[in-house]
């Protein structure tokens, strides 16, 4: 279902002083309850589209814009639960170019060469730092939908979980790209809107494939596994992970089977391995590879969570470059940043979403799955694993008292990005280099004066 704010409102988008992150869009009761029966406004051309900030690359593989002139019924507005609209957003960029990066069929496919590089980069940032499960176009559609509802005075009494998540994602996305709303509002049809969506969706999908490819290249991750899993019960010298085909990793290889085993199970217990291989038991519990030294304490599940070297090294490899792996605060000590890192983002702090992103990439690389598809849960539900980790942090950060999650984020940030003291202690820090050079010149001048 297509949603678009009225033309007059779109035309003024660039001049509005309040942004999505500043507006209070909390649900409010409407005096006219019959508003639930109204229809949302259709897409229509803006008379002065050129006045809005931002450019949109319009080139697509077809000359006709996708269908979307009928906005559909707003009869469900009272609950904020529009099934057709939600079903539109099930695409996660997994489907590849043939199905337009997970976009609904109403959008014509945009060729890669015609995409805006900045929007592709924004899609990558979105995946790594905002949400690796819900697609970016869903966040943008939610913004348009709320604009339309507000204009028609049919703001729901409450929003369902999916809409709430998409709205939160939009606020984070628009904060990183302040002109994005103006670009969207400047479009006059689905062809132009699809150009924006497609570029972001492409970046959304590429972030996963590029990060996975980086850790897969040269069997980097699998060599770490061989170095770190030293328990003889899980080692078979003739079947080292880096020496075998991916199709015999997962629960087929003893080392990767141990790392992927849910922490509620004992891989050495009778029947467990076979049940995991045949999907006969749940795999929803966090896997052992997430925990420090691959040890899990059911009496203290916070202990070692996300502190395993595989997770920390994987994070460093993706976000601060291969040469930073294994170095505390390595981000400040290397200029050899990997090409898949978000250079433009200048991140200096680990987040729940970025940690969860790395965990699902590692889980995929240890498995037999040949292509990572968030929508295919036949072997494993990657979306649930991602949400589980993010929820752990968010729940912990919101509570009073001890906050192991907050401590973990601070620890993780220090391991990856270091802190100001790390920079001050670094002999190659420009401040220290300049100070040493000045001191040498002063000493030379003093020696010359006394000669």
356-409 pLDDT, tens digit each: 999 999 999 999 988 888 877 778 999 999 999 999 999 988 888 888 999 999
Give the span between the Cα atoms of 209 and 101, in whole angstroms: 13
The domain containing residue 200 runs over which residues? 7-205
Q: Tokens at residue 119, please?
A: 């929007």
Which pTM value belongs to this model?
A: 0.75
Query: In degrees rounded to 5, what are phi and psi of residue 342?
Result: -85, 80
Give 291's strand partners: 305
Distance CA 391, CA 159 (A): 19
Residue 47 included in any domain: yes
* Boundary-marking domain end, from 205, 237, 252: 205
Residue 413 resides in a domain? yes
Residues 197 and 310 in one domain: no
Q: How far apart are CA 119 and CA 125, in angstroms?
A: 10
Cβ atoms of 205 and 76 within 8 Å: the answer is no
Query: Quick one: 106 and 190 in the same domain?
Result: yes
* Of 270 and 9, more confident: 270
Average pLDDT over residues 173-195: 94
> pLDDT tier at 427 (50, 70, 90 boundaries)?
low
pLDDT (tens digit per residue) in 185-227: 999 999 999 999 999 999 999 999 999 999 999 899 999 999 9
Residues 111, 150, single domain; the answer is: yes
**Total Cβ atoms within 10 A of residue 448:** 8
State the Cα–Cα distance between residues 408 and 393, nearest whole angstrom: 9
Question: 300 with 176, same domain?
Answer: no
Let me know whether 314 and 388 are in one domain.
yes
- pLDDT at residue 302 tops 60: yes
The pLDDT value recorded for residue 451 is: 75
> Do residues 200 and 307 both lie within one domain?
no
- Asked if 324 and 178 sit in the same domain, the reply is no
Query: How many structural domains does the chain have?
Result: 2
β-strand partners of 262: 287
- 68 lies in some domain: yes
Q: Would 215 be classed as within a structural domain?
A: no
Distances (CA, A) of 431 to 176, 314, 439: 30, 30, 12
Verify that 169 and 296 share a domain, yes or no.
no
Asked whether residue 398 is domain-assigned, the answer is: yes
Rg (CA), the chain: 25
Q: Looking at the structure, do residues 191 and 297 belong to the same domain, yes or no?
A: no
Residue 371 and residue 276 share a domain: yes
User: Same structural domain for residues 233 and 331?
Assistant: yes
In a domain, 449, yes or no: no
Are residues 238 and 201 both part of a single domain? Answer: no
Is the model's pLDDT at 430 over the cut of 60? yes
Q: Which residues contact 283 (CB under 8 A, 6 or more apart)?
A: 260, 262, 276, 380, 381
Q: Is 434 a member of any domain?
A: no
Residue that has been written with the tokens 């670094």 in this structure: 426
- pLDDT higher than 90, residue 444: no
* pLDDT band at residue 127 under the 50/70/90 scheme: very high
Is 349 among the domain residues?
yes
């Amino acid at each position: 279902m297509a949603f678009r704010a009225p033309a007059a409102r779109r035309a003024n988008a660039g001049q509005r002083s309040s942004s999505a992150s500043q507006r209070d869009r909390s649900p409010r009761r409407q005096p006219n309850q019959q508003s639930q029966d109204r229809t949302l406004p259709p897409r229509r051309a803006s008379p002065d589209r050129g006045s809005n900030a931002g450019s949109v690359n319009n080139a697509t593989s077809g000359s006709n814009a996708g269908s979307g002139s009928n906005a559909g019924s707003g009869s469900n507005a009272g609950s904020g639960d529009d099934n057709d609209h939600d079903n539109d957003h099930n695409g996660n960029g997994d489907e590849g170019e043939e199905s337009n990066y997970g976009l609904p069929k109403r959008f014509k496919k945009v060729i890669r060469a015609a995409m805006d590089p900045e929007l592709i980069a924004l899609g990558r940032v979105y995946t790594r730092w905002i949400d690796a499960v819900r697609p970016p176009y869903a966040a943008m559609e939610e913004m348009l939908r709320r604009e339309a509802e507000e204009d028609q005075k049919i703001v729901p009494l409450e929003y369902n979980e999916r809409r709430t998540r998409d709205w939160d994602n939009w606020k984070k996305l628009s904060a990183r790209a302040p002109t994005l709303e103006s670009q969207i509002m400047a479009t006059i049809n689905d062809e132009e809107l699809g150009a924006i969506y497609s570029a972001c969706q492409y970046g959304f999908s590429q972030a996963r494939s590029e990060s996975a490819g980086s850790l897969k290249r040269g069997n980097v991750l699998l060599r770490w596994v061989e170095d770190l899993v030293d328990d003889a019960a899980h080692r078979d010298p003739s079947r080292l992970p880096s020496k075998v085909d991916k199709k015999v990793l997962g629960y087929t290889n003893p080392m990767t089977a141990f790392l992927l085993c849910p922490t509620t199970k004992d891989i050495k217990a009778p029947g467990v391995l076979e049940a995991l291989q045949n999907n006969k038991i749940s795999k929803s519990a966090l896997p052992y590879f997430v925990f420090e030294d691959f040890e899990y304490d059911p009496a203290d599940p916070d202990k070692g969570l996300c502190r395993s070297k595989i997770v920390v090294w994987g994070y460093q490899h993706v976000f601060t470059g291969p040469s930073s792996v294994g170095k505390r605060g390595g981000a400040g000590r290397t200029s050899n940043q990997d090409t898949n890192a978000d250079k433009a983002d200048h991140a200096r702090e680990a987040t729940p979403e970025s940690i969860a992103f790395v965990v699902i990439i590692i889980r995929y690389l240890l498995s037999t799955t040949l292509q990572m598809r968030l929508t295919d849960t036949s072997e494993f539900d990657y979306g649930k694993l991602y949400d589980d980790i993010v929820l752990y942090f968010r729940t912990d950060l919101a509570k009073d008292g001890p906050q192991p999650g907050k401590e973990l984020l601070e620890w993780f940030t220090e391991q990856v990005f270091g802190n100001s003291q790390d920079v001050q202690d670094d002999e190659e820090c420009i401040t220290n280099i300049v100070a040493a050079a000045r001191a040498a010149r002063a000493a030379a001048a003093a020696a010359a004066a006394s000669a």
